[in-house]
Amino acid sequence: MSSLAALCYLASSVLFILAIYGLASPKTAVNGNRFGIIGMALAIFTTLFLLDDINNKYLIGIAIASGAIIGTVIALKVKMTAMPQLVAGFHSLVGLAAVLIAGVALWIPESFDIIHEGKIHGSSLFEMGLGSIIGAITFSGSIIAFLKLNGNMSGAPLRFKGQKYFGILLVLVTLALLVLFLNNASKEAFIAISILAFVIGLFLIMPIGGADMPVVVSMLNSYSGWAASGIGFTLGNSLLIITGAIVGASGAILSYIMCKAMNRSIINVIFGSFGESAVASSAGGQEDDRVVKQGSAEDVAFLMKNASSVIIVPGYGMAVAGAQHAVSEMGNLLEEHGVDVKYAIHPVAGRMPGHMNVLLAEAGIDYEKVFELEEINGDFKGTDIVYVIGANDVTNPAAKTDKTSPIYGMPILDVEKAGTVVFVKRGMAAGYAGVQNELFFRDNTMMVFGDAKKVTENIVKEFD
């Protein structure tokens, strides 16, 4: 590699680091994206035109252009509600690419310059084996996450008797095959390792419930980074090593932060299929014939206009309805009436980290008015009205009181402490975790049934 190519790769790595740093906050996310785009463009240019040992550049260029076109079409068509499953789908492709590259390196090692005295380097075999395992787990795990997020598979944990021991057996057999592969570079062992790793990925993600799915998306992001980094060693590509390590480390840190915010053990989330037993919620998924206090948009508008403070809590239902712009307009009108308006976001609101932040930013809501759980939880007690739009699990008191609940122990937004809690929902269905919200039946709760966007727009009309 020439000095110029190495320098360009270093510049790309710095730009990727700046991209990750920028994406840490909605205020700097746009610039973070720009840094990432520039870094990737520089990396592609360097690989195609500054490296001496790259053949079939036209075919590579066609592949890159095809991928860019497909990616652009998907990005233009995808809705914000489908962003989590889109991310999971893209993670799966990264994992599959790692497996395929490892396979190609094993079948034609001379093209990768990893042969020494007629044999593949032991370190290269380890990189290929480990990269294939991580990549295969990422691929199949991401597919399951996609199906759960897209509604093609139940969000409830899927377990069977003896699953723990079956999972342990899979891991032990895979490790034994890895040792065999390192000793004789057996292609059959490599294929078996990859297949077993695909199966492990399935059993890692299927038992994880919907409440933990945001952590899964972040965790799979980390896996895809480590898979790319591992294959970078096989390819001898410093940029891929650095970039993969950045993605892997940042994803792992985010997963840990989210688990901490949810009072979850990251070990239990990652290895849930091998150790956790299913817990049954006392209310999850069952029809409830208890009476709730219902209201209308007119009732909510009257209460809000006579309030001094309102906290808006957005959830996935807001994303599904596309109600963020109506929420922004409602917030602006409330402020014009002299009402203090804040927005409260739970770390796992929506289906992926930052989902609600992006939606509120898209609607032009001031970042200074948006608060995370630990910043605003103490404010609910002195708030007149909390407007919960499409959120459920993140406000459910069962997380603090019901030890049989799958969300028990997860910190929640203490909306129950407000003077009046208004829930906007389509119906009485349980949340993504399959748990009924006991707060719906409290005396200080008002349920407004209907499409979140239409209900909010009707509230705005009542202000006028």
Alpha helices in 185-237 (DSSP H): 187-205, 213-235
Which amino acid is residue 391, in one-letter code?
A
List, in order of start, the domains of the chain with CATH numbers.
78-275 (no CATH), 297-463 (3.40.50.1220)
Share of the chain above pLDDT 70, in %: 92
pLDDT for 268? 67
Task: Kindly tell me if the per-residue pLDDT of 381 is higher than 60.
Answer: yes
**What is the rounded average pLDDT of the residues 149-174?**
82
pLDDT for 276? 44
**pLDDT tens per residue across span 169-224:** 999 999 999 999 999 999 999 999 999 999 999 888 888 776 677 778 888 888 88
Give the C-alpha distances (Å, rounded to integers) separating 173 from 87, 170, 289: 31, 5, 50
**What is the rounded average pLDDT of the residues 414-437?**
85
At 435, the pLDDT band (50, 70, 90 cuts) reads confident
Strands laid side by side in the 370-372 sheet:
370-372, 340-345, 309-314, 385-389, 420-425, 445-449
Residues with Cβ within 8 Å of residue 109, at least 6 apart in sequence: 115, 120, 124
pLDDT for 423? 94
**pLDDT tens per residue across span 108-122:** 988 777 887 788 888
Q: Which of 393, 402, 414, 451 is catalytic?
A: 393
pLDDT for 279? 40
pLDDT for 275? 39
| CA 324/CA 328 separation, integer angstroms | 6
C-alpha gyration radius of the chain:
25
Share of the chain above pLDDT 90, in %: 40
Alpha helices in 322-394 (DSSP H): 324-336, 355-362, 373-376
pLDDT for 285? 46
| CA 52/CA 236 separation, integer angstroms | 14
Task: Kindly tell me if the per-residue pLDDT of 277 is higher than 50.
Answer: no
Which pTM does this prediction carry?
A: 0.75
Instruction: Lowest mean pLDDT of 27-36, 144-153, 255-264, name the range.
Output: 255-264
At 390, the pLDDT band (50, 70, 90 cuts) reads confident
Active site residue 393: yes
**What is the rounded average pLDDT of the residues 145-163?**
79
**pLDDT tens per residue across span 284-312:** 444 556 788 999 999 999 999 899 999 99
At 57, the pLDDT band (50, 70, 90 cuts) reads confident
| CA 323/CA 345 separation, integer angstroms | 15
Beta pairing, strands 340-345 & 309-314: parallel
Task: Kindly tell me if the per-residue pLDDT of 283 is higher than 50.
Answer: no
Task: Kindly tell me if the per-residue pLDDT of 89 is higher than 50.
Answer: yes
**pLDDT tens per residue across span 20-34:** 888 877 778 889 999
Instruction: Lowest mean pLDDT of 81-85, 264-268, 459-463, name the range.
Output: 264-268
